[in-house]
């Protein structure tokens, strides 16, 4: 996959529409970033609760989905680390599934790197 189909890019502000090729490029990029941690992007989840007192889960998304959203929206989402966390399992806020070696700030940095990679290198 040396060249992206130019029709996959939005002509205005940078966004990248979903396609099988884009999914594979996102997966490859994220998994390369995650190699030191021995995990892949589909087994890392950002889970969010309504509040930290009752921990009622309101949202769960794996890293691949977050990467796709980042490119489609052309922006990196910010997460409140009190109400969102990085977990090895979807739909949980239990500490036993928390991935402390990957703070949410690192995942947000990865999304910025992904956006830059797609914006400046994939269009070559």
Report how many domains make up the chain.
Answer: 1
- The answer to whether residue 22 is domain-embedded is yes
Beta-strand relationship, 45-49 and 84-87? antiparallel
Nearest to 68 by CA among 7, 114, 14, 12: 114
Q: What global pTM score does this model have?
A: 0.85
Sheet with 45-49, edge to edge strand ranges: 57-62, 45-49, 84-87
pLDDT-derived band of residue 48, with 50, 70 and 90 as boundaries?
A: very high
Give the structural domain span for 116. 6-120
Q: Chain-wide mean pLDDT for the chain?
A: 87
Residue 81 has pLDDT above 90, yes or no: no
Structure-token pair, residue 81: 């680390």
- The answer to whether residue 1 is domain-embedded is no
With tokens 């997966």, the residue in question is 27
- The answer to whether residue 17 is domain-embedded is yes
């Amino acid at each position: 996959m040396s060249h992206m189909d130019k029709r996959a890019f939005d002509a205005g502000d940078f966004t990248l529409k979903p396609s099988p090729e884009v999914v594979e490029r996102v997966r490859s990029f994220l998994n390369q970033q995650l190699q030191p941690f021995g995990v892949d992007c589909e087994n890392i989840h950002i889970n969010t609760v309504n509040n930290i007192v009752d921990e009622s889960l309101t949202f769960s998304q794996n890293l691949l989905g977050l990467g796709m959203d980042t490119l489609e929206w052309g922006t990196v989402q910010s997460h409140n680390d009190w109400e969102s966390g990085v977990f090895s399992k979807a739909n949980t806020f239990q500490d036993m599934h928390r991935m402390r070696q990957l703070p949410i700030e690192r995942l947000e940095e990865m999304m910025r790197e992904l956006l830059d990679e797609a914006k400046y290198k994939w269009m070559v």
